[in-house]
Structure 1
Amino acid sequence: MQSKDLTGNGPRSTGGAVPSRREELLATAAEVFARQGYDATTVREIADAAGILAGSLYYHFDSKESILDEILSGFLDELWTGYDAVLGAGLGPRATLEALVVESFREIDRHHDAVAIYQRERHLAGQPRFGYLAESMHRFEHIWQGTLERGVAEGEFRADLDLRLAYRFVRDTVWVAASWYRPGGRHDAAEIARQYLGLLLDGIAAH
Protein backbone atom coordinates (compact mmCIF):
# COMPACT_ATOMS: atom_id res chain seq x y z
CA MET A 1 0.00 0.00 0.00
CA GLN A 2 1.19 3.53 -0.69
CA SER A 3 2.67 5.42 2.22
CA LYS A 4 0.88 8.59 3.23
CA ASP A 5 3.83 10.87 2.46
CA LEU A 6 2.54 14.41 2.95
CA THR A 7 5.95 15.98 2.38
CA GLY A 8 5.39 15.73 -1.36
CA ASN A 9 7.68 12.77 -1.98
CA GLY A 10 4.92 10.30 -2.77
CA PRO A 11 4.52 8.51 -6.09
CA ARG A 12 3.03 10.32 -9.05
CA SER A 13 1.03 9.10 -12.00
CA THR A 14 2.79 6.79 -14.41
CA GLY A 15 1.56 8.91 -17.29
CA GLY A 16 0.81 6.83 -20.35
CA ALA A 17 1.66 3.47 -18.76
CA VAL A 18 -1.02 0.78 -18.91
CA PRO A 19 -2.75 0.68 -15.51
CA SER A 20 -2.29 -2.47 -13.44
CA ARG A 21 -5.25 -4.57 -12.36
CA ARG A 22 -4.86 -3.10 -8.88
CA GLU A 23 -5.05 0.44 -10.28
CA GLU A 24 -8.13 -0.49 -12.30
CA LEU A 25 -9.82 -1.83 -9.16
CA LEU A 26 -8.95 1.33 -7.24
CA ALA A 27 -10.43 3.46 -10.04
CA THR A 28 -13.60 1.38 -10.02
CA ALA A 29 -13.90 1.57 -6.24
CA ALA A 30 -13.33 5.34 -6.31
CA GLU A 31 -16.15 5.76 -8.82
CA VAL A 32 -18.54 3.72 -6.65
CA PHE A 33 -17.52 5.50 -3.42
CA ALA A 34 -17.93 8.90 -5.09
CA ARG A 35 -21.38 8.02 -6.39
CA GLN A 36 -22.83 6.19 -3.37
CA GLY A 37 -20.73 7.28 -0.40
CA TYR A 38 -18.24 5.15 1.51
CA ASP A 39 -20.55 3.92 4.26
CA ALA A 40 -23.31 2.98 1.81
CA THR A 41 -20.99 0.94 -0.43
CA THR A 42 -20.30 -2.76 0.11
CA VAL A 43 -17.33 -4.81 -1.04
CA ARG A 44 -19.73 -6.86 -3.16
CA GLU A 45 -20.89 -3.72 -5.00
CA ILE A 46 -17.29 -2.78 -5.79
CA ALA A 47 -16.61 -6.30 -7.01
CA ASP A 48 -19.77 -6.29 -9.14
CA ALA A 49 -18.75 -2.99 -10.73
CA ALA A 50 -15.31 -4.47 -11.46
CA GLY A 51 -16.80 -7.65 -12.91
CA ILE A 52 -15.23 -9.99 -10.36
CA LEU A 53 -16.31 -12.04 -7.35
CA ALA A 54 -16.18 -10.33 -3.96
CA GLY A 55 -13.67 -12.90 -2.75
CA SER A 56 -11.34 -12.03 -5.62
CA LEU A 57 -11.21 -8.42 -4.43
CA TYR A 58 -9.64 -9.61 -1.18
CA TYR A 59 -6.73 -10.96 -3.19
CA HIS A 60 -5.71 -7.33 -3.76
CA PHE A 61 -7.03 -5.57 -0.61
CA ASP A 62 -7.69 -6.80 2.90
CA SER A 63 -10.73 -4.57 3.53
CA LYS A 64 -12.97 -1.84 2.17
CA GLU A 65 -11.16 0.56 4.52
CA SER A 66 -7.83 -0.32 2.89
CA ILE A 67 -9.25 0.46 -0.53
CA LEU A 68 -10.43 3.89 0.58
CA ASP A 69 -7.14 4.54 2.37
CA GLU A 70 -5.17 3.85 -0.79
CA ILE A 71 -7.44 6.03 -2.93
CA LEU A 72 -7.18 9.03 -0.61
CA SER A 73 -3.50 8.71 0.26
CA GLY A 74 -2.59 8.29 -3.41
CA PHE A 75 -4.49 11.45 -4.34
CA LEU A 76 -2.96 13.46 -1.50
CA ASP A 77 0.56 12.24 -2.24
CA GLU A 78 0.25 13.56 -5.77
CA LEU A 79 -1.44 16.79 -4.71
CA TRP A 80 1.34 17.62 -2.27
CA THR A 81 4.04 16.73 -4.78
CA GLY A 82 2.51 19.35 -7.09
CA TYR A 83 2.00 21.92 -4.35
CA ASP A 84 5.53 21.52 -3.03
CA ALA A 85 6.91 22.09 -6.53
CA VAL A 86 4.94 25.34 -6.68
CA LEU A 87 6.08 26.47 -3.24
CA GLY A 88 9.69 25.59 -4.03
CA ALA A 89 9.72 27.72 -7.19
CA GLY A 90 10.25 30.99 -5.30
CA LEU A 91 7.35 32.79 -7.00
CA GLY A 92 5.68 35.97 -5.79
CA PRO A 93 2.34 35.72 -3.95
CA ARG A 94 0.09 36.26 -6.97
CA ALA A 95 2.06 33.84 -9.16
CA THR A 96 2.04 31.31 -6.31
CA LEU A 97 -1.73 31.60 -5.93
CA GLU A 98 -2.19 31.21 -9.68
CA ALA A 99 0.06 28.13 -9.78
CA LEU A 100 -1.72 26.54 -6.80
CA VAL A 101 -5.07 27.04 -8.54
CA VAL A 102 -3.76 25.50 -11.77
CA GLU A 103 -2.32 22.51 -9.87
CA SER A 104 -5.60 22.07 -7.98
CA PHE A 105 -7.64 21.87 -11.17
CA ARG A 106 -5.12 19.44 -12.63
CA GLU A 107 -5.64 17.17 -9.63
CA ILE A 108 -9.42 17.46 -9.93
CA ASP A 109 -8.99 16.29 -13.52
CA ARG A 110 -6.60 13.44 -12.65
CA HIS A 111 -8.35 12.27 -9.48
CA HIS A 112 -11.92 13.43 -9.95
CA ASP A 113 -13.55 10.66 -7.94
CA ALA A 114 -10.92 10.81 -5.17
CA VAL A 115 -11.52 14.56 -4.79
CA ALA A 116 -15.27 13.97 -4.52
CA ILE A 117 -14.65 11.34 -1.83
CA TYR A 118 -12.23 13.63 0.01
CA GLN A 119 -14.86 16.37 0.07
CA ARG A 120 -17.63 14.04 1.19
CA GLU A 121 -15.85 11.89 3.76
CA ARG A 122 -13.95 14.48 5.80
CA HIS A 123 -15.46 13.10 8.98
CA LEU A 124 -13.05 10.18 8.63
CA ALA A 125 -10.23 12.52 9.70
CA GLY A 126 -11.18 11.71 13.28
CA GLN A 127 -10.28 8.04 12.84
CA PRO A 128 -6.68 7.01 13.60
CA ARG A 129 -6.13 5.37 10.22
CA PHE A 130 -7.24 8.52 8.41
CA GLY A 131 -5.55 11.04 10.68
CA TYR A 132 -3.48 12.23 7.72
CA LEU A 133 -6.65 13.84 6.34
CA ALA A 134 -6.72 16.29 9.25
CA GLU A 135 -3.01 16.96 8.79
CA SER A 136 -3.56 17.66 5.12
CA MET A 137 -6.47 20.01 5.81
CA HIS A 138 -4.39 21.97 8.31
CA ARG A 139 -1.44 22.21 5.95
CA PHE A 140 -3.70 23.24 3.09
CA GLU A 141 -5.10 26.12 5.15
CA HIS A 142 -1.62 27.20 6.25
CA ILE A 143 -0.30 27.34 2.68
CA TRP A 144 -3.25 29.06 1.03
CA GLN A 145 -3.95 31.59 3.78
CA GLY A 146 -0.20 32.24 4.12
CA THR A 147 -0.01 33.03 0.40
CA LEU A 148 -2.87 35.51 0.74
CA GLU A 149 -1.22 37.13 3.78
CA ARG A 150 2.06 37.46 1.90
CA GLY A 151 0.23 39.02 -1.03
CA VAL A 152 -1.32 41.67 1.19
CA ALA A 153 1.99 42.38 2.93
CA GLU A 154 3.79 42.78 -0.41
CA GLY A 155 1.08 44.93 -1.95
CA GLU A 156 -0.06 42.40 -4.58
CA PHE A 157 -3.49 41.87 -3.01
CA ARG A 158 -5.89 44.44 -1.55
CA ALA A 159 -5.07 45.60 1.96
CA ASP A 160 -8.74 45.49 3.03
CA LEU A 161 -9.13 41.75 2.45
CA ASP A 162 -10.63 39.70 5.25
CA LEU A 163 -7.97 37.01 4.92
CA ARG A 164 -9.95 34.27 6.64
CA LEU A 165 -12.97 34.94 4.46
CA ALA A 166 -10.82 35.18 1.31
CA TYR A 167 -9.19 31.85 2.10
CA ARG A 168 -12.53 30.12 2.59
CA PHE A 169 -13.89 31.59 -0.63
CA VAL A 170 -10.89 30.47 -2.68
CA ARG A 171 -10.80 27.03 -1.06
CA ASP A 172 -14.48 26.31 -1.56
CA THR A 173 -14.81 27.73 -5.06
CA VAL A 174 -11.82 25.71 -6.30
CA TRP A 175 -12.72 22.32 -4.84
CA VAL A 176 -16.47 22.50 -5.36
CA ALA A 177 -15.61 22.18 -9.06
CA ALA A 178 -15.38 18.43 -8.46
CA SER A 179 -19.18 18.41 -8.14
CA TRP A 180 -19.73 19.63 -11.71
CA TYR A 181 -16.50 19.26 -13.68
CA ARG A 182 -16.15 16.09 -15.72
CA PRO A 183 -12.84 15.09 -17.35
CA GLY A 184 -13.16 15.02 -21.13
CA GLY A 185 -15.91 17.65 -21.16
CA ARG A 186 -16.18 20.87 -23.11
CA HIS A 187 -13.37 22.59 -21.18
CA ASP A 188 -10.16 20.97 -20.00
CA ALA A 189 -8.58 21.60 -16.61
CA ALA A 190 -6.21 24.28 -17.93
CA GLU A 191 -9.08 26.29 -19.43
CA ILE A 192 -11.17 25.98 -16.27
CA ALA A 193 -8.20 27.24 -14.22
CA ARG A 194 -7.68 30.16 -16.63
CA GLN A 195 -11.33 31.19 -16.46
CA TYR A 196 -11.41 30.81 -12.68
CA LEU A 197 -8.30 32.95 -12.19
CA GLY A 198 -9.75 35.63 -14.45
CA LEU A 199 -12.87 35.79 -12.29
CA LEU A 200 -10.95 35.65 -9.02
CA LEU A 201 -8.28 38.20 -9.80
CA ASP A 202 -9.99 40.52 -12.30
CA GLY A 203 -13.72 40.12 -11.61
CA ILE A 204 -16.52 40.07 -14.18
CA ALA A 205 -17.08 43.80 -14.67
CA ALA A 206 -15.88 45.41 -17.90
CA HIS A 207 -12.93 47.76 -17.35
Structure 2
Amino acid sequence: MARSLDIRSDLPTPLPIGTAAQLRLLDEGAHLFLTSGYAETTMREIASAAGMKAGSIYHHFSSKEEMLELILVQGIDVMIQSFHQTQRETRQQDALSRLLAHIRAHLGSLFEHGPYTAAHVTTFPYAPTEVRKRIVPVRDGYETLWTELLESLSDSGAITLPSSVSMTRLILMGAMNQTIEWFDPSGNQSVDQLAEAIANQLWDGVTPR
Protein backbone atom coordinates (compact mmCIF):
# COMPACT_ATOMS: atom_id res chain seq x y z
CA MET A 1 0.00 0.00 0.00
CA ALA A 2 1.33 3.45 -0.85
CA ARG A 3 2.24 5.52 2.15
CA SER A 4 0.67 8.93 2.61
CA LEU A 5 3.21 11.72 2.56
CA ASP A 6 2.68 14.92 4.50
CA ILE A 7 5.09 16.80 2.28
CA ARG A 8 3.48 20.17 2.97
CA SER A 9 5.33 20.11 6.30
CA ASP A 10 8.54 20.45 4.28
CA LEU A 11 7.46 23.74 2.73
CA PRO A 12 9.76 26.64 3.51
CA THR A 13 8.13 28.94 6.03
CA PRO A 14 7.21 32.10 4.11
CA LEU A 15 7.33 35.53 5.59
CA PRO A 16 3.94 36.51 7.02
CA ILE A 17 1.67 37.80 4.32
CA GLY A 18 -1.99 38.51 4.19
CA THR A 19 -2.64 42.19 3.72
CA ALA A 20 -4.63 43.12 0.66
CA ALA A 21 -1.64 45.02 -0.72
CA GLN A 22 0.73 42.09 -0.29
CA LEU A 23 -1.66 39.64 -1.87
CA ARG A 24 -2.29 41.98 -4.78
CA LEU A 25 1.43 42.32 -5.36
CA LEU A 26 1.91 38.55 -5.27
CA ASP A 27 -1.00 38.04 -7.66
CA GLU A 28 0.48 40.51 -10.13
CA GLY A 29 3.98 39.14 -9.63
CA ALA A 30 2.83 35.60 -10.36
CA HIS A 31 0.98 36.77 -13.47
CA LEU A 32 3.99 38.69 -14.77
CA PHE A 33 6.45 35.90 -13.99
CA LEU A 34 4.17 33.54 -15.95
CA THR A 35 3.56 35.79 -18.95
CA SER A 36 6.82 37.76 -19.18
CA GLY A 37 9.37 35.63 -17.35
CA TYR A 38 11.08 36.04 -14.00
CA ALA A 39 14.27 37.65 -15.28
CA GLU A 40 12.38 40.04 -17.53
CA THR A 41 9.98 41.26 -14.83
CA THR A 42 11.02 44.20 -12.66
CA MET A 43 9.78 45.23 -9.24
CA ARG A 44 8.66 48.51 -10.82
CA GLU A 45 6.45 46.59 -13.26
CA ILE A 46 4.91 44.54 -10.47
CA ALA A 47 4.18 47.67 -8.45
CA SER A 48 2.66 49.39 -11.46
CA ALA A 49 0.44 46.40 -12.24
CA ALA A 50 -0.76 46.46 -8.63
CA GLY A 51 -1.51 50.17 -8.81
CA MET A 52 1.36 51.23 -6.56
CA LYS A 53 4.28 53.61 -6.83
CA ALA A 54 7.57 51.90 -7.58
CA GLY A 55 9.11 52.48 -4.16
CA SER A 56 6.04 51.32 -2.25
CA ILE A 57 6.59 47.67 -3.10
CA TYR A 58 9.65 47.60 -0.86
CA HIS A 59 7.48 48.33 2.16
CA HIS A 60 5.99 44.86 1.61
CA PHE A 61 8.80 42.77 0.11
CA SER A 62 12.54 43.21 0.26
CA SER A 63 13.29 41.78 -3.18
CA LYS A 64 11.96 40.07 -6.28
CA GLU A 65 13.60 36.87 -5.05
CA GLU A 66 11.53 36.96 -1.87
CA MET A 67 8.35 37.38 -3.90
CA LEU A 68 9.33 34.52 -6.20
CA GLU A 69 9.86 32.12 -3.31
CA LEU A 70 6.44 32.92 -1.86
CA ILE A 71 4.85 32.43 -5.28
CA LEU A 72 6.64 29.10 -5.79
CA VAL A 73 5.55 27.91 -2.34
CA GLN A 74 1.94 28.82 -3.03
CA GLY A 75 2.07 27.10 -6.42
CA ILE A 76 3.35 23.77 -5.11
CA ASP A 77 1.01 23.97 -2.11
CA VAL A 78 -2.00 24.11 -4.44
CA MET A 79 -0.81 20.97 -6.23
CA ILE A 80 -0.20 19.09 -3.00
CA GLN A 81 -3.58 19.98 -1.55
CA SER A 82 -5.32 19.01 -4.79
CA PHE A 83 -3.55 15.66 -4.88
CA HIS A 84 -4.47 14.75 -1.30
CA GLN A 85 -8.08 15.85 -1.76
CA THR A 86 -8.37 13.74 -4.91
CA GLN A 87 -6.75 10.81 -3.14
CA ARG A 88 -9.37 10.96 -0.39
CA GLU A 89 -12.26 11.29 -2.83
CA THR A 90 -11.25 8.48 -5.21
CA ARG A 91 -9.89 5.84 -2.84
CA GLN A 92 -12.69 3.39 -3.68
CA GLN A 93 -12.85 4.06 -7.42
CA ASP A 94 -11.48 1.94 -10.24
CA ALA A 95 -7.98 2.48 -11.58
CA LEU A 96 -8.85 4.54 -14.66
CA SER A 97 -11.17 6.81 -12.67
CA ARG A 98 -8.45 7.40 -10.08
CA LEU A 99 -5.86 8.18 -12.73
CA LEU A 100 -8.22 10.51 -14.57
CA ALA A 101 -9.17 12.32 -11.36
CA HIS A 102 -5.55 12.95 -10.44
CA ILE A 103 -4.71 14.20 -13.93
CA ARG A 104 -7.77 16.46 -13.78
CA ALA A 105 -6.69 17.77 -10.37
CA HIS A 106 -3.19 18.61 -11.62
CA LEU A 107 -4.54 20.40 -14.69
CA GLY A 108 -7.06 22.19 -12.52
CA SER A 109 -4.18 23.45 -10.39
CA LEU A 110 -2.55 24.85 -13.52
CA PHE A 111 -5.58 26.50 -15.07
CA GLU A 112 -8.16 27.14 -12.36
CA HIS A 113 -6.34 28.37 -9.26
CA GLY A 114 -4.86 31.64 -10.41
CA PRO A 115 -1.38 32.03 -11.88
CA TYR A 116 0.64 30.62 -8.96
CA THR A 117 0.87 26.97 -10.00
CA ALA A 118 1.46 27.69 -13.67
CA ALA A 119 4.06 30.29 -12.67
CA HIS A 120 5.71 27.67 -10.47
CA VAL A 121 6.03 25.24 -13.39
CA THR A 122 7.40 27.81 -15.85
CA THR A 123 9.55 29.87 -13.48
CA PHE A 124 11.17 27.31 -11.17
CA PRO A 125 14.03 26.43 -13.58
CA TYR A 126 15.07 30.09 -13.64
CA ALA A 127 14.83 30.73 -9.91
CA PRO A 128 18.02 31.69 -8.03
CA THR A 129 20.00 28.70 -6.79
CA GLU A 130 19.22 29.20 -3.11
CA VAL A 131 15.50 29.45 -3.80
CA ARG A 132 15.58 26.25 -5.86
CA LYS A 133 17.43 24.43 -3.09
CA ARG A 134 14.66 25.25 -0.62
CA ILE A 135 11.87 24.24 -2.98
CA VAL A 136 13.39 21.06 -4.48
CA PRO A 137 12.57 18.75 -1.53
CA VAL A 138 8.90 19.69 -1.75
CA ARG A 139 8.81 19.20 -5.52
CA ASP A 140 10.46 15.82 -5.04
CA GLY A 141 7.81 14.94 -2.48
CA TYR A 142 5.01 15.85 -4.89
CA GLU A 143 6.58 13.72 -7.60
CA THR A 144 6.82 10.87 -5.09
CA LEU A 145 3.07 11.05 -4.60
CA TRP A 146 2.65 10.44 -8.33
CA THR A 147 5.22 7.64 -8.28
CA GLU A 148 3.36 5.91 -5.47
CA LEU A 149 0.05 6.32 -7.28
CA LEU A 150 1.45 4.63 -10.39
CA GLU A 151 3.10 1.93 -8.29
CA SER A 152 -0.17 1.18 -6.51
CA LEU A 153 -2.01 0.85 -9.82
CA SER A 154 0.76 -1.40 -11.12
CA ASP A 155 0.86 -3.54 -7.98
CA SER A 156 -2.90 -4.07 -8.22
CA GLY A 157 -2.53 -5.40 -11.77
CA ALA A 158 -4.63 -2.59 -13.21
CA ILE A 159 -1.75 -1.33 -15.34
CA THR A 160 1.47 -2.74 -16.76
CA LEU A 161 4.16 -0.12 -17.03
CA PRO A 162 6.14 -0.42 -20.30
CA SER A 163 9.12 1.28 -18.68
CA SER A 164 10.19 2.24 -15.18
CA VAL A 165 7.74 3.97 -12.88
CA SER A 166 9.93 7.06 -12.80
CA MET A 167 10.06 7.20 -16.60
CA THR A 168 6.28 6.87 -16.85
CA ARG A 169 5.84 9.60 -14.25
CA LEU A 170 8.22 11.93 -16.07
CA ILE A 171 6.38 11.40 -19.36
CA LEU A 172 3.02 12.04 -17.72
CA MET A 173 4.18 15.12 -15.78
CA GLY A 174 5.81 16.50 -18.90
CA ALA A 175 2.63 16.04 -20.91
CA MET A 176 0.52 17.77 -18.27
CA ASN A 177 2.87 20.67 -17.61
CA GLN A 178 3.54 21.33 -21.27
CA THR A 179 -0.15 22.18 -21.75
CA ILE A 180 0.59 25.58 -20.22
CA GLU A 181 2.31 26.45 -23.49
CA TRP A 182 -0.57 25.66 -25.83
CA PHE A 183 -3.88 24.94 -24.12
CA ASP A 184 -6.49 27.68 -23.86
CA PRO A 185 -9.13 26.79 -21.23
CA SER A 186 -11.43 29.44 -22.67
CA GLY A 187 -11.29 27.82 -26.10
CA ASN A 188 -13.28 25.01 -27.69
CA GLN A 189 -11.92 22.28 -25.40
CA SER A 190 -12.49 22.17 -21.64
CA VAL A 191 -10.03 21.16 -18.94
CA ASP A 192 -12.17 18.06 -18.42
CA GLN A 193 -11.70 17.10 -22.07
CA LEU A 194 -7.97 17.76 -21.85
CA ALA A 195 -7.69 15.53 -18.79
CA GLU A 196 -9.61 12.76 -20.53
CA ALA A 197 -7.37 12.98 -23.60
CA ILE A 198 -4.17 12.70 -21.55
CA ALA A 199 -5.58 9.92 -19.36
CA ASN A 200 -6.76 7.92 -22.36
CA GLN A 201 -3.43 8.26 -24.15
CA LEU A 202 -1.56 7.03 -21.07
CA TRP A 203 -4.12 4.31 -20.35
CA ASP A 204 -3.78 2.88 -23.86
CA GLY A 205 -0.07 2.46 -23.25
CA VAL A 206 -0.19 0.91 -19.78
CA THR A 207 -3.22 -1.38 -19.66
CA PRO A 208 -2.46 -5.12 -19.79
CA ARG A 209 -2.94 -6.70 -23.21
1:152 alignment partner in structure 2: 154
Report the AA paired with residue 202 of structure 2.
Answer: L
* Paired residue secondary structure (2:115): helix
Q: CA deviation at 1:185?
A: 3.0
What is the correspondence of 1:10-49 to structure 2 with a 5 Å cutoff? 20-49=20-49
Q: Which runs of 5+ in 1 are unaligned?
A: 10-18
Q: Which residue of 1 aligns with 2:78?
A: 78
2:62 is matched with 62
Aligned to 2:3: none
Aligned-pair identity in percent equals 23
- Report how many residues are paired: 189
Q: Matches of 1:20 and 1:200 in 2, distance apart?
A: 42
Contact 1:101 1:193 in 2 (8 A): yes
Question: What is the CA distance between 1:25 and its match in structure 2?
Answer: 2.4
What residue in structure 2 maps to residue 143 of structure 1?
145
> Which one of 158, 164, 167 corresponds to residue 165 of structure 1?
167
Q: Which residue does 1:118 correspond to in 2? A: 120
* Residues 22 and 60, structure 2, Cα contact 8 Å, conserved in 1: yes
Q: 1:122 to 1:168 in 2, by over 3 A?
A: same
Structure 2: 5+ residue stretches without partners:
1-6, 12-18
Which TM-score applies when normalising by structure 2? 0.75
Aligned-partner Cα distance in 2 for 1:98–1:25? 35
**1:19-71 CA-partner distances (Å, limit 9, x unpaired):** 94433322221121122322232111212333321112223323212221222
Is 71-80 or 172-181 further displaced after alignment?
71-80
1:26–1:67 contact (8 Å) kept in structure 2: yes
- Quickly say closer, same or farther: Cα 1:183–1:55, change in 2 above 3 A: farther
Equivalent position of 2:135 in the other structure: 133
Give me the TM-score of the superposition, normalised by structure 1: 0.76
